A and B are shown apart, each in its own frame.
Chain A
Amino acid sequence: MGSIIDGSLWYFSLTVFVIGVVWNLVRIVFGKRKADFSIPRDSAVAGALRTLISRFIPDRHMLPRISLQVVAGYMFHLGLFVLLFFAAPHVRFLDEHILGFGWSPAPHWLFIVSAQFAFLGLIMLWLHRVINVVSRLISDRGDHIAAILTFVVMLTGCLALLETFNELRLLHRLSVELWLIYFPFSRLMHAFTFVPSRMFTGAWFGRRGVGS
Chain B
Amino acid sequence: MSESLERGLNKLRSQIDPQVRSFFSTCVHCGICAETCLFFTETRDPRYTPIYKTEPLRKLWRQEYTFWGKLAGKLGITDPLTEQDLADWETLVYDGCSMCGRCSMVCPLGIDISKIIFKVKTGLATAGYSPKDLAETTQRAVDIGSPMGVKIGALQAQIKHIEDDINLKIPIDVEQADYMALLSSMEIMYFPEYISALAQIFNHAGVSWTLCSEAFEATNSGLQIGNTEVAGVLVERIVAGAEKLKVKNVISPECGHAYTAIRWEGPNFIGRPYSFKVVHILELLDELQQSGRLKLAGMETERLTFHDPCSIVRRGGIDSEPRNLLRSFTENFVEMTEHGTMNWCCGGGGGVNSNERAEPVKLQAFNRKKSQLDELDVETIVTSCSNCRLVIEEGLEANDMDINIVGLTEMLAEHLVDGTAH
Residues on A close to B: CB < 8 A? 24, 27-39, 41-42, 51-52, 55-56, 58-59, 61-62, 65-66, 69-70, 73, 125, 128-129, 132-140, 142-143, 185, 187, 189-190, 193-194, 196-202, 204-205, 208-212
Contact = CB atoms under 8 A, between A and B. Distances in A.
17 contacts: A33-B17, A38-B268, A55-B109, A55-B110, A59-B106, A59-B342, A66-B32, A69-B30, A69-B31, A134-B49, A137-B49, A187-B25, A193-B26, A197-B109, A200-B18, A200-B19, A210-B316
B73 interface: no
A134 B106 contact: no
A52 B110 CA distance: 8
Nearest to A190: B26
A133 B49 CA distance: 10
B28 A201 contact: no
A134 B34 contact: yes
B264 A208 contact: yes
B32 A55 contact: no
Given A62-B35, A134-B34, A210-B314, A37 B272 contact: yes
Q: Which 6 A-B pairs have the closest CB atoms?
A: A198-B110, A209-B317, A31-B18, A37-B267, A134-B31, A65-B35
A28 B109 contact: no
Given A197-B22, A210-B319, A187 B109 contact: no
Given A37-B272, A212-B104, 5 more contacts: A36-B267, A66-B35, A189-B26, A201-B111, A209-B317
B117 to A, nearest CB: 14
A190 B29 contact: no
A65 B32 CA distance: 9
A129 B46 CA distance: 13
B110 A199 contact: yes
Interface string B63-92: 000111000000000000000000000000
B31 A197 contact: no
How many chain B residues sit at the interface, stated as a range, is: 35 or more
Interface of B: 17-19, 21-23, 25-32, 34-36, 40, 46-47, 49, 51-52, 66-68, 104-112, 115, 263-268, 271-273, 277-278, 314-319, 337-338, 341-342
Nearest to B71: A185
A58 B34 CA distance: 14
Contacts of B109: 55, 190, 194, 197-198
Contacts of A133: 46
A42 B22 contact: no
B417 to A, nearest CB: 31
A182 B31 CA distance: 23
A200 B25 CA distance: 14
Contacts of A211: 341
A208 B317 contact: yes
B110 A28 contact: no
A140 B59 CA distance: 11
Contacts of B341: 210-212
Contacts of B67: 185
B18 A37 contact: no
**Max chain A Cβ within 10 angstroms of own Cβ: one of B30, B112, B267:** B30
Nearest to A125: B30
